[in-house]
Structure 1
């Protein structure tokens, strides 16, 4: 028995040390019997003295009742996706872009683990929350489950608030053991270690998560108060707080060192206990990271150097023609199942019929298939030497496989033009309700199919007329399930405008473009002309034309959806309506001393319209160091050009400082 509080505190510190060496370092400093004996003494003291329990005690890792569902939680700082590079040429291009701004830059390389990204938020040294990546803005709150992972400290010595990011992984051996257990109990098997890690982390009962041997390996930070210094030093400092060591993390002075560590990781990818799918490269200087900033979807100071794709061969058994929401017919090869990196592959896209003709692919061909990380399996080429005379030509369809209407054969694409085609409508509804769009929980593909076949919905607008009574007449529906769906549909009312624009599924218009449209034009998006749209930074001709065409063809649908949903447009209120930059179309070029996205945001707040290309409609070009063709073109067109020093003078006259952006 433990005698007093001091005895309890010292014993808890010893137990934490034992647990760290046993679970995290695989280097026990005590026998199982000694560990269990001390654990139960501490547990007995805590039962008798609940007011004295130390929050980071190992006894507190498993606890809490099972949840009915996970709550959403917003990250303090966005969890960005990384841009991918696949070869040394692209690596050289990426490094050269960094060198333009920071010629003395060095880098930190670490393995890219194939697991589940998790964001840990600490405040005053205590773990406050653990949130999955989700869409990068918000994810699922899995704090109770995270507390069962021994390599996640419940308490750290760093007292300021900080988000520590990393990957939750499971070893190949532990993955096999879990699947053997599931096989014996008749449960569905996990496809690969990543799926096992994701399924384990998202258990509603933390006690189930605790039984799985999950590991958390740090790879980065989100919200923090560190403004300068070395990224590697920060990570190494974090690792001293009780986290699992980050293997192979290496400081690299240049491209040769980067390539060397990459090739080392490639050589061990199939034998390393944890699945790897590439290597992450990060600029080491935190100050440089902050200056380089971000694009719409990814940091400029980091990238993922992906491993070469895994190649396997299989046989094409038949072709299925899928109809997408825009009517495009996509041929999909049905294959003899083949395992690639732990996943059973039985289908692969053939993209279009021009691709089939160019590669000379036939039914009954043995073909080479690649799959790299999350990339959809793709057929590279047929092995013509293995043809035995049983091969059959793949013929272009002439009529829609769903509605039977005649297909339009374009240059590359074959398209169903029937707007009432069930496949087109169902795909549109599925996308409209998906997480990346309006996120209508409970309205998945199977439910949409059921509602469609029972005549409850025939188009997107019908979603908003669904009654609980209609649902209760269907197989598998109970009052709670029906009401949950009705509530989820109601919750789409007053969503941000960009979400509705994204949900419409306009060709070439994704999340980033939808946000730009919303912030540029508000509810007047579909009343704008081509020249207005093309002036948006990053918009090309196809994107502008797509918005115009969609608005004309679907005028009535858009009008009714706007009326039903009443989306919230972002406030467009310039902080200085009389600014020199108000109503002017501006292009930025060259290397600026401040992050370009922040300069753009500032100018937009002053009423400017930002564009990515110089044209006769450009009013001002602002240039930094190493300005190239855009400056030449602007000069040739007689466009006003100003450098960053002059920009600062103009802003200063309006009592605005560029330095405030840092």
Structure 2
């Protein structure tokens, strides 16, 4: 191998990469390997040795780049070119018929066909290919902005890093963990004294959000493609045509079946009720879509979901088990929630040993006793709940449950406010309340502080390093690095994450404060109506109730929050720490790219694709995926591809990176 010159090495590497890609496709996409694992490993080792000899010949699409190794400090945000909508749900035959009637009404006599697909219980992702090479993978996020998980997605062997057609396109798919792989992982974790994953979906979601891509590589994730968002060179008439094309390009596509009418759709849905158990991955339903893409455009979308598709959800699986005990857990507002401790039972892909009982009234309504044999299910295949007691199996040994008069954590008095179903601990210094309050504050929809989880919070409280969430901002690395599982790097990352959270939007800060009844939606509305925390603090109940989405319960809760001295102290310390307690002030020339449309193509040197798009959109411009007569600028990097030719033919102004940066500089200062 050392006798090869660079030219011969390049040809050998190209041939090896092509051979390995074909075998990966046969093994991971077709499930039909044509060589043994040992022979495949031999090919990989040969490629690894050649690339180590000639490192400048290593490319991003090489199969050797799937093994992981990149370690990130945090995931970059990615703004989706097209909003990822949610699907409306159907739970029975009648819902499907109603959906079909709406389609008929809107299409007014048009002929149409359905395509039925598996609704995989995994993690939605967007993929972008540039010139036929995998360029970006991102999570769904909130539908508009996701996280860049490209390094972790490269480890998915069923996802091609390079395809035959040198086109630019965006796709959607579902990342999942096979049931067999889930069992292998949990067995390994138990052997290593680690907590097992709750279910395959949680394991998959946790894997793609690992900052170290080597961990994702070890978990053997898979992906099934279910949609093509855009393509720079082709137009398609039907969804089935799209699937045929993607299959030819080497993608592992979702299972599908065509259906000529809604009666056929219903038969397919009923057929899969039992067959789902035979699959090596979890599905929680089926997705029904209109096949004709032109008719999809005609049907359009609502604000949150397409009118041309619906998700049929399987009925919840139910099993019987025994309630061994009823425990009390405390929330951040002091709410006492009874939880049934169950004999473990396999249910919808995971082992269930706990189920929420909601409150004292729910226990009485269902006549639940300790020792009862009960029917349990997962509500929406997610949250375990007790459906009913099997009273005929009682033998007299069952015990009545009574809500405690004192908090089981701090001993404080427990009261049940008039008109409420929930009992609460009255001690605002209760350790359990403090822990839950901090957990809420650092959660993803709130301040999104990576690395600060239940175990670390417990240690911080136990060592008197913090008393509440405001104290997080006064921690130093020296406070953390001697804690359990907190070395030099981990403690440094936590401090960085805490510092980064100071820039969170005002509405997220409002949500993070933990004001009772103020969810993320209400927080957004409040931030739209009040420019700062001081304005909100000064608001009267009538001012709040005059906002259509804010009712009297939320209004009372907000006013009460600002009357507590402890909360005023919290806000004072958050302000001192530099948290954004007001909407971002409008700056002069903030929208200096007002509605200008930019297209980006080729490999950029100074920006990632998401960074340059964020720059444009934060300045009021628009980043679009394809060149048209309405495009204002095409920004090119290396190997720009077909968009460059199209822009030239249309007379679109073309900029390289240096020219783009100079233009931004001038427009910002003008």
> Smaller-chain TM-score range?
0.7 to 0.9
1:465 aligns to what? 474
Give 3-state SS (helix, strand or coil) of 2:284's partner: strand
TM superposition shift of 1:432: 0.8
The 5-angstrom pairing of residues 24-423 of structure 1 reads: 24-28=29-33, 56-58=61-63, 60-63=64-67, 65=69, 67=71, 71-77=75-81, 78-95=83-100, 101-102=106-107, 107-134=114-141, 136=143, 141-157=148-164, 159=166, 161-179=168-186, 189-198=196-205, 201=208, 210=217, 213-221=220-228, 229-247=237-255, 249-252=256-259, 254-284=261-291, 288=296, 292-293=300-301, 295=303, 302-372=309-379, 375-402=382-409, 403-411=411-419, 412-423=421-432
Deviations 1:6-64 (A, max 9, x none): 78756754553343223311234567787677767766776676666665454x34456
1:566 aligns to what? 580
The 5-angstrom pairing of residues 602-613 of structure 1 reads: none
1:515 aligns to what? 524
Give 3-state SS (helix, strand or coil) of 2:312's partner: strand
Instruction: Output the CA distance in 2 between the equivalents of 1:294 and 1:279.
Output: 21
TM superposition shift of 1:370: 0.3
Contact 1:494 1:568 in 2 (8 A): no
The 5-angstrom pairing of residues 515-534 of structure 1 reads: 515-523=524-532, 524-528=535-539, 533=544
Deviations 1:446-467 (A, max 9, x none): 2222322333333333333334
Instruction: Output the CA distance in 2 between the equivalents of 1:438 and 1:209.
Output: 25
2:27 aligns to what? 22
Instruction: Output the CA distance in 2 between the equivalents of 1:422 and 1:83.
Output: 41
Contact 1:252 1:258 in 2 (8 A): yes
2:665 aligns to what? none
Distance 1:464 1:159, change over 3 A: same
Match of 1:425 among 434, 455, 478: 434
Deviations 1:350-378 (A, max 9, x none): 01111111111111111111015652100
Distance 1:33 1:251, change over 3 A: same
TM superposition shift of 1:208: 6.2
Distance 1:118 1:516, change over 3 A: same
Contact 2:116 2:289 in 1 (8 A): yes
Distance 1:320 1:98, change over 3 A: farther
The 5-angstrom pairing of residues 558-597 of structure 1 reads: 559-560=571-572, 561-562=574-575, 564-567=578-581, 569=583
TM superposition shift of 1:434: 1.5
Instruction: Output the CA distance in 2 between the equivalents of 1:38 and 1:472.
Output: 43
Instruction: Output the CA distance in 2 between the equivalents of 1:300 and 1:456.
Output: 52
Distance 1:28 1:448, change over 3 A: closer
TM superposition shift of 1:235: 4.0
Instruction: Output the CA distance in 2 between the equivalents of 1:442 and 1:8.
Output: 40
Distance 1:14 1:66, change over 3 A: closer
The 5-angstrom pairing of residues 621-660 of structure 1 reads: none
Contact 1:62 1:206 in 2 (8 A): no
TM superposition shift of 1:481: 4.4
Contact 2:125 2:139 in 1 (8 A): yes
Distance 1:89 1:567, change over 3 A: farther
TM superposition shift of 1:292: 3.9
Distance 1:18 1:197, change over 3 A: same
1:643 aligns to what? none
Distance 1:346 1:48, change over 3 A: closer
Give 3-state SS (helix, strand or coil) of 2:383's partner: coil
The normalised TM-score by structure 1 is 0.74
Deviations 1:428-480 (A, max 9, x none): 12101122210123322222223223333333333333345554676665555
TM superposition shift of 1:214: 3.4
Distance 1:415 1:260, change over 3 A: same
Instruction: Output the CA distance in 1 between the equivalents of 2:308 and 2:570.
Output: 39
Deviations 1:509-551 (A, max 9, x none): 3223322332343323444455665565655554455444444
Give 3-state SS (helix, strand or coil) of 2:502's partner: coil
TM superposition shift of 1:79: 4.4
Distance 1:550 1:258, change over 3 A: farther
TM superposition shift of 1:394: 1.5
Instruction: Output the CA distance in 2 between the equivalents of 1:492 and 1:376.
Output: 30
Instruction: Output the CA distance in 2 between the equivalents of 1:46 and 1:482.
Output: 35
Distance 1:472 1:96, change over 3 A: same
Structure 1: gaps spanning 5 or more residues: 576-604, 606-662
Contact 2:376 2:387 in 1 (8 A): yes
TM superposition shift of 1:150: 2.7
Q: 1:435 and 2:449 equivalent?
A: no
Distance 1:388 1:535, change over 3 A: same
Q: What's the Cα RMSD here? A: 4.0
